[in-house]
Amino acid sequence: NAGVTQTPKFQVLKTGQSMTLQCAQDMNHNSMYWYRQDPGMGLRLIYYSASEGTTDKGEVPNGYNVSRLNKREFSLRLESAAPSQTSVYFCASTRGEGAYNEQFFGPGTRLTVL
Amino acid sequence: KNEVEQSPQNLTAQEGEFITINCSYSVGISALHWLQQHPGGGIVSLFMLSSGKKKHGRLIATINIQEKHSSLHITASHPRDSAVYICAVVGGATNKLIFGTGTLLAVQP
């Protein structure tokens, strides 16, 4: 099993460009999450999907949209990238909803917005 | 003030030393996670606990709910333990994970 996979691993964008970060898991997990990690700060939740067909905002959703395409895939879209969105993005999944379950993380996507 | 505080922020140890990383939190919680972030960036879950103590190999995690404090101990530390150790709590209004900023551990041979 590959676990949680993310593409791309690295990306450089210019201000105003758009892009979609892809995430997939092969563990048949119900819940999926997108986090961002910035220097000197803890991981912060952007959006999550408790189950297929549902999505909800997290702590820092502004400037992002998500799609739970099916049970396996959860994508994060930046419609008009800004330098403040320069960060490392992690996708994660859990078997059940909520944080009582072990979180499995993808390898991360390092995004730079110029 | 962050809801989850870790100490120390940076720690350098010699191989074989006993290591303690602390986590204090200010919100009511129902569970606490310890995670390890490798130098390459990957994050893995080490422990999830809601009371008492858990042990896995050379790693021990304890939690005191009344004192709102948890510790992660590493016995007989090794250079391969060098990583960032992250504490995260389940609690607050959203019932989602709230992460600390991490403790950067370097174990020197």
Mean pLDDT of A12-17: 97
**B57 is written with which tokens?**
């190999």
Q: Is the CB of A100 less than 8 angstroms away from the CB of B45?
A: no
Q: Please give the Cα distance from B90 to B45 (Å, whole number).
A: 14
pLDDT of amino acid A99: 63
Q: Is the CB of A43 less than 8 angstroms away from the CB of B31?
A: no
The structure tokens 């909803």 sit at A97
Q: Are residues A37 and B42 in contact, defined by beta-carbon separation less than 8 angstroms?
A: no
The structure tokens 């999926």 sit at A32
Burial A84-93 (b: 16+ CB within 10 A, else e): ebbbebbbbb
pLDDT of amino acid B93: 62
Q: Please give the Cα distance from B65 to B93 (Å, whole number).
A: 18
Nearest one of A49, A52, A31 to A95, comparing CA atoms? A31
| Alpha-carbon distance values, B14 to A49, A58, A85, B56, B108 (Å) | 43, 40, 38, 21, 5
Q: Are residues B70 and B93 in contact, defined by beta-carbon separation less than 8 angstroms?
A: no
Q: pLDDT for A75-86, tens place per residue?
A: 999 999 999 999
Among candidates A41, A59, A90 on the partner chain, residue whose Cβ is nearest the Cβ of B43: A90
In this prediction, residue B95 has a pLDDT band, given cuts at 50, 70 and 90, of: confident
Q: Would you tell me how many other CB atoms lie within 10 Å of the CB of residue B21?
A: 22
In this prediction, residue B99 has a pLDDT band, given cuts at 50, 70 and 90, of: very high
Nearest CA-CA distance, residue A60 and chain B, Å: 13
| Alpha-carbon distance values, B23 to A45, A87, B42, B80 (Å) | 20, 25, 21, 22
Asked if residue B92 has pLDDT above 80, the reply is: no
Report chain B residues touching chain A, CB-CB < 8 A: 2, 4, 30-31, 33, 35, 40-45, 48, 86, 88, 90, 94-102
